[in-house]
Chains A and B, each alone.
Chain A
């Protein structure tokens, strides 16, 4: 055999080896900035130019640095100066590179040529695209009034364009699926109990200093927000005990000291019984309750009937286990993290109450404003910027689809389900134009069949998008947005345990003909004739925001793109004050009573699965964000599809094996694409689970198309939360179809008489 003429290692590797220093354990502590000088010849990402910015692969928005060589982004790392994540980013943060360089990206403005949903487009100019959008906004407003315009928004890209809809006078200028399909009920419950949104985008719960933690349906670890996960793990490392309540053995349950596999839909029963238990057994913080809470006597009376013995058959949990868990939490109070949860649109009726119950439990333990408990935000100052758009709320129509249906909806915008209903039925008024920005509504809102039907009724629909999602293929005009890596947005502040201020700035130039969200909104406003966005570019208003913090962009970048501040999360009993109307933590909420809603949580059961079906629940994969990342080359390679978790005992009874391929059929007769079964003891027999966001129906997404199954297309039945109009997502049931044969699933945990059974309606449109 011919041998290769070996001389030596390549110059760079050789240098690397020669410089190895192993004896010192402080080897890695050298300041990052002082290491390799910028030199694209070095191996790996070494020697890259580093540009500080902010991630938006999810909405936790970790500070990052983009590492650029020869004008190409080679790697993303956490900003080493960040007090929250340091040099760390999650799998998705690391994979931003592949969002930027996704070959399927929308490269130019597009105009639909085929039918809506067909995905046939023609390339048009920016002028033509913007003129057409502006013309339609004006026309629809003229013909049907301002409220005929509706805007679906999510994330940083959506913020500027929102002002256009607001200025045009629509009450539907914001209907964030992120609120009405996700955090809404929890956010409302905490806002009313504590006077601030303890959970929404962020959760103010001090897990790293907790002695015990309670998670109800929250699966930290599968839901990855870097600083939040770090605090959770740090708490556990410090010895905190963990109680997890979940029908599924999640990544968080796997780390629990006590795991309670509760019957879905009965969490509030457990929480009410626990409240009654700690009040009856005198395990609550009397001093805190007396000094800082209102409504205790009413609460005590209201929960009296809920005993552990009562809850046991409802929750399908032994009394002893429930007692052990609450005693463990009580023993460690007030330093207990009663996690407020986040995604809370589960069952419609009862969602706000469930999170209110969690909020009350924390107060009964006095676990607020103390180490390990809920804590207060530390506001970080920045300058106020006025774009010259409407600052006042638009005038509400004679019949509002927000406040006239749900008393607490308008705090946050218009409920998504009501927008869709008004678009379908013209009741109470017609909605004829949708603008969509930063959200794939088809894979986000229950009953996508209904959403598509509504879209057919529109005069016009447009979106700003990065990838050709289902929403893009249903749009008339698609505006190609720049990714978060190619644009400025604004100054971001973080008010949790490690407060900081940072700014999003481009790490590379926008690719193709894509444009920044600010540019798009500004150009659009100009064409409509709105006097809006009176800054020439993002840098002008960023400087103004920074000025308010005593900074300049240049100065901030000199500091590594980020400035950290001291936190102020805790309160002494003397200084304890909350921003509710009474100035006290509200254990009973009068605002709710004024609207004939329960001022104190009450157990309202969600119907049990019909015979032959199990409940479909969903969650997250740590490598994916909603339905946004399934086309990402690196993330798709890690987790390309979503198996259906089926209980091992149940699978055995019906002859399903691990890895079998099945089709799901829901209670309305809708069928899924084929999905692989994962047989596991880690899920209850009355429940099946899959990760949300898979099963894209857009052929233009070359990796995501038809990969896995969409939970959203199985969620056709939903109920609105009576407090604020959020839509339920866990009120659907499935059975399996294997090799064309329908398999009815036996009932291994029959519900008690207190829980009614879901009665299947007539099949809607014959199934799909």
Chain B
């Protein structure tokens, strides 16, 4: 099965934030929400020396996404088609993982804007766009819309130093496959949060140490969604009601 993935090379990254802004421009993401970010880390001491590095982050399109499990919208059956003609029938909520690309997407038509998925993501990769009259959850799509026109994701296209490598992990000739299977790339996950993120990082030992120390999620946020879930749904309902009035 295909899985789109990204490897970010911290040896190449200079922390210029072009990725974050190109994404904002491409998808008109309103400030202060973000689908794509750069966090500046250090300079800090590590056991491998002084490190000053970056956490360029985006949705991880996880193997086992938890954001899709907290969506309260009733599942609906949908037939997914691959380019080669294969089909697969799945019952999906308003946010789901595409079985043929591995990309986690939001079905904006059905999203009720309750914010559960936003609360659930341990990476903080989602936001509820309250700038809209009818707020919706939103997030990185790996720019699947652009791929239809043979264009790489906006963040990859603008990356000034070529630090973002994008491709299909099921394709053994792809650069991402080669890097990930070399064992050099790391994923930001912990004992508590091990849901298979598909954004990988490579870099100097010291930089990877600092990145892991500062940015690995430990909180199983999706397990706390129960109460906010009701609150979120209520909020969404009130918002709708208010608009109707």
Asked if B25 contacts A45 (CB within 8 A), the reply is yes
Task: Point out the residues of chain A lying under 8 angstroms from B144, CB to CB.
Answer: 16-17, 20
Structural contact, B15 and A251, CB atoms closer than 8 A? yes
The complex places the Cα of A35 from the Cα of B146 at a distance, in Å, of 10
Given A1-B74, A23-B168, A254-B43: A89 and B150 within 8 A (CB)? Answer: no
Q: Are B160 and A229 in contact (CB under 8 A)?
A: yes
Q: Check if A22 sits within 8 Å of B16, measured CB to CB.
A: no
**How far, in whole Å, are A43 and B29 apart by their CA atoms in the complex?**
13
A-facing residues in B92-144 (Cβ within 8 Å)? 94, 98, 100-101, 107-110, 112, 143-144
Known: A25-B167, A35-B150, A46-B145. A638 touches B52 (CB 8 A): no
Q: Does B233 contact A (CB under 8 A)?
A: yes
Minimal beta-carbon separation of A237 from chain B (angstroms): 7
CA distance A16 to B148 in the complex (A): 5
CA distance A639 to B50 in the complex (A): 23
Tell me the minimal C-beta distance from A137 to chain B in angstroms.
41
What is the minimal beta-carbon distance from B198 to any residue of chain A, in angstroms?
Answer: 14
**Stretch in B59-67, B151-159, B186-194 touching the partner:** B151-159
Q: Does B18 contact A (CB under 8 A)?
A: yes
Which residues of the other chain, A, contact B4 by a CB distance below 8 angstroms? Answer: 22
Residues A19 and B148 in contact in the complex (CB < 8 Å), given A638-B38, A681-B50: yes
Chain A interface size band reads 35 or more
Given the contacts A6-B76, A254-B53, A682-B52, A28 and B150 also touching, CB distance less than 8 Å? yes
Residues of chain A within 8 A (CB-CB) of B158 are: 77-78, 87-89, 94
| CB-CB nearest in chain A for B3 | A22
Contacts of B20 in A (CB 8 A): 91, 638
How many pairs of residues, A versus B, come closer than 8 Å at their CB atoms?
210
* B68 on interface, CB distance cutoff 8 Å: no
- The CA-CA distance from A94 to B84 in the complex, in Å, is 36
Chain B residues with CB under 8 Å of A25's CB are 167-168, 171, 173-175
Interface size (B, Cβ < 8 Å)?
A: 69
- In the assembled complex, the Cα of A21 lies from the Cα of B148 at a distance in Å of 7
Q: What is the 8 Å Cβ interface bit string for chain A, positions 1-26, against chain B (1 contact, 0 not)?
A: 10110111110110111111111010
Residues of chain A within 8 A of B70, CB atoms compared: none
Given known contacts A91-B17, A682-B50, is B107 in contact with A44 (CB within 8 Å)?
A: no
Note all chain B residues with C-beta closer than 8 A to A633.
31
Assess A623 versus B52: contact at CB under 8 Å? Given A76-B25, A237-B11. no
User: Which chain A residue shows the least CB distance to B108?
Assistant: A10
In chain A, positions 254-282 with a C-beta closer than 8 Å to chain B are 254-255, 259
Q: For the complex, give the distance between the alpha carbons of A226 and B2 in Å.
A: 34
Chain A residues contacting B207 (CB-CB under 8 Å) are 254
> CA A310 – CA B207 in complex, angstroms?
35
Tell me if B161 is interfacial: C-beta within 8 Å of chain A. Answer: yes
Q: Is the CB of A87 within 8 A of B16?
A: no
Residue of A at shortest CB range from B176? A25
For A97, the closest partner residue in chain B by CB is B25
If the complex has contacts A4-B73, A634-B31, A680-B43, are A75 and B25 also in contact, measured as CB distance less than 8 A? yes
Inter-chain contacts of B42 with A (CB < 8 A): 249, 254, 680, 682
Instruction: Kindly list chain B residues whose C-beta atoms are within 8 Å of the C-beta of A259.
Output: 50
Partner of A622, one of B17, B100, B173: B17
CB contact between A75 and one of B16, B26, B32, B73 (< 8 Å): that residue: B26
Contact of A226 among B31, B100, B145, B160 (CB under 8 A): B160
CB-based contact B25/A46 at 8 Å? no
Which B residues are in CB contact (< 8 Å) with A222? 14-15
CB proximity of A31 to chain B, nearest CB, Å = 9
Residues of B within 8 A of A (CB): 2, 4, 11-12, 14-18, 20-22, 24-28, 31-32, 38, 42-45, 50-53, 72-74, 76, 81, 83-84, 94, 98, 100-101, 107-110, 112, 143-152, 154, 157-162, 167-168, 171, 173-175, 207, 233
Task: Known pairs A1-B72, A634-B25, A681-B45; list 19 more (Cβ under 8 Å).
Answer: A15-B148, A16-B146, A16-B147, A22-B168, A25-B173, A25-B175, A44-B26, A44-B154, A75-B22, A88-B18, A94-B24, A94-B158, A224-B160, A229-B14, A229-B16, A233-B162, A254-B207, A638-B38, A680-B43
